[in-house]
Amino acid sequence: MNLNTTLIRSFREKVNSHSSYVYNKYRDIDNKNHWNLICSCMDWITVSVKFLTTEINYDKDIDVRVMGLFSVISAIDIIVESINQLHRVLCNTQDIPFTGENGIFLNNQLALSDNEYFKELRAMFGAHPVNLKHKNGKHWFASWPHEPFSSQNNIFEVRLYSSQVGVKDLSFSVNLFELEVFAIKHYNHLHFLMNEIDKQIEDFCERYKRIKIEKKSDPLELLLVLRKESQMRFNNDYYNGSVDELIILFSTTLDIKELMEEEKKYRSRLLEVIEEILNNLQSMKVVDLVTDDILNPEFPGGVIGYSISKLYDYGFDSRKEPQYDFHMEELDRFSNNIYRFASSRTKEEVILKMKMMLYRYNIEGFS
């Protein structure tokens, strides 16, 4: 089938690129996790599109071909149901796309909409052919599918037998081209849903742009404001983590006289990071910080790189990392014992010392 395989990838990229908004909005709506629903729909659309765009080798045996057709219909049904679910959640509605529309299935003798008629075809050709019920409440049973007599455009035909005595059989056919048109119509609704996501994000950003962030002269007080604003606006892990690190760095003081001036200079540079975070949150831009190299200076490889990585892995917790003392010794050896890591009393002191050490190393190195 001629389905655009890049469309579902584009939709997934749209969701993932704005995951800070989409995840936080839809993970808990009236105690229902709609984020999980969105992920499930994206996964099953991907699977179904891949199947439908793969050339299907219909077996010569008609029974095997019938089940192959049912697989095609089932894949289309998954796409349709996924689109319906995404539309319901993203548009906050109980309406179903294309309700009441018809014109795709030309041999529609039940006078149903295209959506309704597709459900009938799905039932007749494999979903539950031995237990059919139309709107009139009468029960029907589908025959063994057979090759078409009425038109060469049809793949298979079935006869429906009524449960009522004396009622004439009905004949139904399935047309692969019509199924393809139906599938493409619903699948392309992803374009509309991507525009809906863009609109929601634009409205969300415009609303928060108008809400001015309270400014404080004291850096630590401002950081506490920014923590709240970051969580409320995008709740982005990168920004939340950056603010939390800055709170540690501005609430911790080293009791080392020789480092007082260096500590002061480093904090003055960190003010640039705070200013950038403030501006980005106010303008509703979640982008990598230009000043990130101040807050997160690069560290070298080798043994010292290993020690720093391990300290991050274990949250600088000496109780969790059995080689904690070894790492402290390596940091002191690397920095010529300038920062006295081994005598640090808290993990916050270790973090501040390490940031200062790496920032200094990236500027002038250690002799």
Token pair of 250, please?
């501005």
**At 2, is the secondary structure helix, strand, or coil?**
coil
Sheet holding 154-162: strands in order across?
Answer: 132-133, 139-142, 154-162, 170-175
Contacts of 287 (CB under 8 A, 6+ apart): 280
* Torsion angle (degrees, nearest 10) of CA 248, 250, 254, 255: -120
Check whether 31 has a pLDDT greater than 70.
Answer: yes
Looking at per-residue pLDDT, the higher value among 172 and 278 belongs to 278
What pLDDT shows up at residue 163? 85
Residue pointed to by tokens 């390490």: 354
User: Phi and psi dihedrals of 184, rounded to 5?
Assistant: -60, -40
216: nearest Cα among 228, 201, 232, 199 = 228
Beta bridge partners of 132: 140
Confidence of residue 61 (pLDDT cuts 50, 70, 90): confident
The mean pLDDT of 105-130, rounded to a whole number, is 90
Between residues 6 and 127, the one the model is more confident about: 6
List helix spans (H) across 91-125.
114-122
Instruction: State the pLDDT at residue 136.
Output: 66
| pLDDT higher than 70, residue 358 | yes
Q: Which of these, 255, 90, 76, 276, lies nearest to 177 by C-alpha position?
A: 76
Q: Measured between alpha carbons, how far is 207 from 284 in angstroms, rounded to an integer? A: 10
Q: Given this model, what pLDDT does residue 64 score?
A: 86
- Residue 96 or residue 367, greater confidence: 96
pLDDT mean over 160-165: 85
Whether the CB-CB separation of 113 and 100 falls below 8 Å is answered with: yes
- Confidence bin at 82 (pLDDT 50/70/90): very high
What per-residue string of b and e applies to 39-58 under the rule 16 or more CB within 10 Å gives b? Answer: eebbebbbebbebbeeeeee
Please give the Cα distance from 246 to 269 (Å, whole number): 11
pLDDT grade for 295, boundaries at 50, 70 and 90: very high
Alpha helix segments (H runs only) across the chain: 5-17, 19-26, 34-52, 62-90, 114-122, 176-187, 189-209, 219-233, 237-251, 260-282, 292-295, 302-313, 324-334, 347-363
Q: Supply the mean pLDDT for the chain.
A: 92
Tell me the domain boundaries of the chain.
Answer: 5-190, 216-363
pLDDT at 346 over 80: yes
Does residue 96 have a pLDDT over 80? yes
pLDDT at position 367: 61
How far from chain centre, in Å, is Cα 237? 14
207-265 confidence digits (pLDDT tens): 999 999 999 999 999 999 999 999 999 999 999 999 999 999 999 999 899 999 999 99
Which pLDDT does position 352 carry in this prediction?
96
End-to-end distance of the chain based on CA atoms, in angstroms? Answer: 67
> What confidence tier does 58 reach under pLDDT thresholds 50, 70, 90?
low
Q: What are 134's two structure tokens?
A: 């139309």
Q: Tell which phi-psi region holds residue 285, choosing left (phi > 0), alpha (psi between -120 and 50) or beta.
A: beta
Q: What is the pTM of this model?
A: 0.82
pLDDT in tens, 165-198: 888 888 888 889 999 999 999 999 999 999 999 9
Share of the chain above pLDDT 70, in %: 96
User: Radius of gyration (Cα) for the chain, nearest Å?
Assistant: 31
Query: Who has greater pLDDT, 365 or 131?
Result: 131
- Say whether pLDDT at 54 is over 80: yes
Q: What is the pLDDT of residues 133-159, one digit of tens each?
A: 865 678 888 888 888 765 566 678 888
Tell me the average pLDDT across 116-127: 92
pLDDT exceeds 80 at position 71: yes
